Amino acid sequence: RIMRPDDANIAGNVHGGIILKMIEEAGAIISTRHCNSQGGEPCVAALARVERTDFLSPMCIGEVANVSAEITYTSRHSVEVQVNVLSENILTGAKKVTNKATLWYVPLSLKNVNKVVEVPPMQYARKEQEDEGKKRYEEQKLDRLETKQKNGDLIFPVINPEPHTVGYSQSSLIHLVGPSDCTLLGFVHGGVTMKLMDEVAGIVAARHCKTNIVTASVDAINFHEKIKKGSVITISGRMTFTSNKSMEIEVFVDADPFVNESRERYRAVSAFFTYVSLSKEGKALPVPQLLTETEDEKRRFEEGKGRYLQTKAKRQAQMQQQA
């Protein structure tokens, strides 16, 4: 579809959350279609995880986004989907790849939302494809478990914070989950959640550097639990690390069942977003150094630095392989 002004920021760049939402919609369609392709119990595919996603180039107002999805692996109860996003300038005909993402879905029964149904097997062109997919499945399953065990932090307001501190830029958004946010099962679309997360992360980044900002990448987004229609969700973001030209922001979503529910608040989603600061000409600007004050903030900064260096090393290795 064509990108409209309400899809973009004030500089004309399409919000990362809009692109993430389109990616998830494509993944949900192809996964649900596959899981219902051989009869059996009717089901809807629910997003469980999004692997690291890099925003390779910005997309602008007036360009056409082409989103394509392909199933690359199936386990007994999950589906791996590869999604590619291509932007097209319909005035010049120029095309460029803007995003590549890998998503994992689980099929939930329409009759019993707590039941995960079996996934029809797919046919692989080569045995190696199945083996590689199984390896990716085991790795993401382990990472999801480790991430869920770490969740428990909360963000509290800071009185009169100093500029460039964690408390100065941290932000939260409260949203009542309505019918338009949900799937046929009455739970929130993963794409809706990711769009809200990107909005909060963008506010944190803009508050920190006071410039135009764009999403550069998103680390794995883990969906720990479903969010039911009628829940109140709190999307919270805080700066964890800054390099010379990038900012890492931790974002998590807490759900508070609001209508006819006695359950207490729980952590539903978590991820790390990376942003860059841009000039009016679209060139990367230096980012103000994050000032850490507490031991927890210093620990999170070092962890963020580790993720940054690991990603940097992977990119250098990929460039050498391509060369």
Residues designated catalytic: 9, 198
Q: Which two tokens stand for residue 120?
A: 């029809």
Residue 189: partners with Cβ closer than 8 Å, 6 or more residues away: 21, 24, 25, 28, 47, 181, 182, 183
Determine the residue type at 62.
Answer: G
Is 64 in contact with 48 (CB distance < 8 Å)? no
How far apart (Å, rounded) are the C-alpha atoms in residues 83 and 157?
38
How far apart (Å, rounded) are the C-alpha atoms in residues 173 and 177?
12
Determine the residue type at 152.
Answer: G
How far apart (Å, rounded) are the C-alpha atoms in residues 49 and 26?
14
* Torsion-angle region of 161 (φ positive above 0: left; ψ -120 to 50: alpha; else: beta): beta
Residue 278: partners with Cβ closer than 8 Å, 6 or more residues away: 11, 13, 211, 212, 213, 214, 284, 285
For residue 155, give Cα distances in angstroms to 15, 104, 131, 172.
24, 28, 41, 9
CB atoms closer than 10 angstroms to residue 294? 11
How far apart (Å, rounded) are the C-alpha atoms in residues 265 and 127?
44
Residue 124: partners with Cβ closer than 8 Å, 6 or more residues away: 130, 133
